[in-house]
Amino acid sequence: MPLPQGNKKNTYLDYLSWPTNERWEIIDGVPYMQAAPTWQHQALSAALLSQFYNYLSGKSCQVFASPFDLRLPEADEKDEETTFVVQPDIIVICDKEGLKGTGYYGTPTLVIEISSPSTTRNDKIWKFNRYEKAGIKEYWIVEADAKFISVFTLQPNNRYGRPESYTEIDKIIVSVFPDFVVDLAPVFERI
């Protein structure tokens, strides 16, 4: 199987030919190998996922956890031409038309990234900018060590405003689902 080429702009079609036992992301055509997450990362992911899953049960939207290929196209890029393929830790999809194969092609409603020292730059700069540009309504960045969450909400000008910040003792009213409140105490209690 061919490995990612650093000297060319990689696409989702290239990605599909890479070894399936490795986790990769492509940001603007550049491949990034993903390390296995820590147990703290996985505990946070499971705790958040369970609250979203319980809330969305029986509703039209669905929640998914990584590994899950999110393909955010630029302009008229077809699915296989997409040069931005990422593995959000948690993703909420309300328009199921783009669900296919190993994930989703299009713009999800909400994305949660659990940041680590090796992913902070991508989460706070590259992904942030691309998620905003794509029109993802809500973007959470979870910082496990600090027990801290920044929630960015897309404003009427199609930009993320200043983040709302939360700690382990707070509850988050999810802006895209105003009747849904995420309790952070059980999310952070085991790490």
pLDDT digits (tens, 9 = 90+) for 133-184: 999 999 999 999 999 999 999 999 999 999 999 999 999 999 999 999 999 9
What 3-state class would DSSP assign to 122?
helix
Cα atoms in the 13 Å half-sphere on the side-chain side of 45: 21
Q: Is 3's pLDDT higher than 70? A: no
Tell me which H or E stretch contains 93.
strand 90-93
Q: How far, in Å, CA of 145 to CA of 40, rounded?
A: 9
At 5 the pLDDT is 61
Q: How far, in Å, CA of 26 to CA of 31, rounded?
A: 4
Residue 132 near residue 167 (C-beta atoms within 8 A): no
In a domain, 8, yes or no: no
Q: Give per-residue burial for 62-91: e unless 16+ CB within 10 Å, then b.
A: bbbbbebbbbbbeeebebeebbbbbbbbbb
Show the domain range for 52: 36-68+87-188
Task: Tell me what the mean pLDDT of segment 112-119 comes to.
Answer: 90
Task: Tell me what the mean pLDDT of segment 178-191 comes to.
Answer: 95
Does residue 48 or residue 21 have the better pLDDT? 48
In a domain, 15, yes or no: no
What six digits make up the tokens of 117?
A: 């020292």
Q: Is 111's pLDDT higher than 60? A: yes
In a domain, 164, yes or no: yes
In a domain, 18, yes or no: no
> To which residue do tokens 């540009």 refer?
133
In a domain, 51, yes or no: yes
In a domain, 76, yes or no: no
Q: Is 43's pLDDT higher than 80? A: yes
Pick the range with the lowest mean pLDDT from 8-12, 32-36, 37-41, 137-141.
Answer: 32-36
Q: Is 2's pLDDT higher than 60? A: no
Task: Tell me what the mean pLDDT of segment 29-46 comes to.
Answer: 91
Q: Provide the domain count of the chain.
A: 1
For the entire predicted model, the pTM comes to 0.93
In a domain, 184, yes or no: yes
At 116 the pLDDT is 87
Task: Tell me what the mean pLDDT of segment 72-98 comes to.
Answer: 94
At 1 the pLDDT is 43
- Could you give the C-alpha distances from 136 to 10, 97, 166, 184, 186, in angstroms and in order? 23, 16, 20, 22, 26
In a domain, 110, yes or no: yes
Task: Tell me what the mean pLDDT of segment 36-50 comes to.
Answer: 95
Measured at the CA of 186, the angle between CA 40 and CA 49, to 5 degrees, comes to 70
Please write the tens of the pLDDT for every residue from 72-84. 998 889 999 999 9
Here the CATH number for the domain that contains residue 163 is 3.90.1570.10
Which amino acid is present at 115? Answer: S
Q: Strand 138-143 vs strand 110-115: parallel, antiparallel, or unpaired?
A: parallel
At 6 the pLDDT is 60
Instruction: Report the percent of the chain where pLDDT is more than 90.
Output: 82
Residue 114 near residue 148 (C-beta atoms within 8 A): no
Determine how many CB atoms are found less than 10 A away from the CB of residue 92. Answer: 23
What six digits make up the tokens of 21?
A: 């036992």
The burial class, CB within 10 Å (0-12 / 13-18 / 19+), for 188 is: buried
Q: How far, in Å, CA of 33 to CA of 47, rounded?
A: 25
